A = this chain, B = another copy of it.
Amino acid sequence: MSKISTKINMGNFFEDFFMGQEIVHPLPRTISEGDVSLYIAFTGSRFALHSSNIVAKELGYEKRPIDDILMFHLTFGKSVQDISLNAIANLGYAEISFPTPAFVGDTVSMSSKVIGLKENSNGKSGVVYVHSIGRNQKGEEVLNFKRWVMVHKKDKATITGIKEVPNFKESTPIVEDINIPTILKVDTKKSGGDYFFEDYEVGERLNHPEGITIDNSDHTLATKLYQNNAKVHFNDHMMKNSPMGQRLMYGGIIISIARAISFNGLQNAQWVYAINSGAHCNPTYAGDTIYAYTQILEKIEHKREDIGLLRLRTVAVKNQNSSEIEQPKDEEGKYLKNVVLDLDYTVIVPKKKTSK
C-alpha cells in the first residue's frame, strides 16, 4: 500500500500571506549565452545593444548587457511558485525598474515582501500585493517592482475582512543617477535608427508595421526557459477543460514581442528604464499574430546631457494591423477585443549630441 505524500508544494493561498511577510523565492538563476540567443529566437529582437558586443562597447559597456525584458522574465519567473501559482488573475504591475544592468554569467535571485492584502467581498478570494526585488550575485538590485494578484482562499467560510491596499505611483520615479554608462557616441549605421530624443514629440504615434505570429512551441519553450511554472501556460490537457479551451500564453511573451516590434521607429531607445503599469487586456493563444503601435506620452529631460527619457504607451493588437486601431478602448472604456496589451513604460533615448 502506498502512502500519499504531503511533501508536494501546492503553492500559497490567500490565508498563507500576511502583511510584512518576507518571501525568499528559490532557484537563483545563472544567465547564459544560451538564454540570450533563445530570447532573440523567441522575439526576433534587433536592438543593437543586446545583439552586439561592438555596439555595447561603443555605448560604454564592457560587453552586451542582457535585454531588460529577458531579465524581467528570468527573475519574475521565480516568484510564480510562491505568489501566483494559485492566482485567479494577475491584476497589475507598477513601478518596475531595472536599477543595475545584468550580464551573461550573473546569477539573479528574488525576494518579495507582502505590502497589501484585500479580501474580496465574496469571501472566496483575495488580492495580494507584493514588492519584489531581484538581485545579482553581488547583492545589487537588478529588478524592483510591485504587483498584485487575485488568489484563491483555502477557507471560504471564514471572513477576515482584511483590507490594506498600498498606493502606487502613477509612474516610476526618475532617479538622478541612472545606471547606464555615459554615452559617448551612437553610430546610427549600427543601431539602424536615425532618431534621437529631440526628434520625438508628445502625441506622436508610431504604427509599427511588423506582425509576428506565435505558435505553441514558441511560447511554451520561452515560459519554460524562464522557469515560470504557472500551469495554464503548459498543460493543454487541463486547459481543454477550462473555459479557454487551450493553453493561455504567458502575458510576458506579449510584452517581449511588442517591445521587439517597437524597434521600427525606436531603434535608439535601447534601454527600458521602467515599466509604469501594464494590462493584459485580452488573452492570447497559439496562432495569434501580434502587432503593435506606440504613442509618445511624455518627454522627460534629465540632468545628464547625453540622454533623455520617453514615456511610451505601446498597445499590442492581435490579428489586426495596429494602424487600424485608433484607441485601445471603446466609448464605455472597455478594451477592444483584439487589444491584448496596454503598456505604459519609460525608455532612455540618447540625445543628438551623441550621434556619430
Contacts and interface: CB of A to CB of B under 8 A. Distances in A.
A211 interface: yes
A137 interface: yes
A44 B226 CA distance: 8
Given A4-B207, A51-B227, A189-B24, A222 B35 contact: no
A154 interface: no
A140 interface: no
Which size class do A's interface residues fall under?
Answer: 35 or more
A8 B208 contact: yes
A265 B3 CA distance: 14
A282 to B, nearest CB: 16
B9 A264 contact: yes
A224 B41 contact: yes
A195 interface: yes
Contacts of A264: 8-9
A30 B40 CA distance: 12
Given A41-B222, A52-B107, A213-B247, 5 more contacts: A2-B203, A26-B189, A33-B37, A210-B231, A211-B238
5 A-B pairs with the lowest CB-CB distances in the bound complex, closest first: A34-B37, A26-B192, A217-B217, A237-B289, A44-B224
24 contacts: A5-B204, A7-B195, A7-B199, A9-B193, A9-B264, A27-B48, A29-B51, A32-B37, A34-B35, A34-B37, A38-B38, A38-B41, A41-B221, A41-B225, A42-B224, A44-B223, A54-B107, A81-B192, A209-B231, A210-B229, A210-B231, A211-B235, A213-B216, A215-B216
Interface of A: 1-5, 7-10, 24, 26-30, 32-38, 40-44, 46, 48, 51-55, 64, 81, 105, 107, 109, 137, 188-193, 195, 199, 201, 203-213, 215-218, 220-225, 227, 229, 231, 234-238, 247, 264-265, 267, 287, 289, 291, 295, 319-320
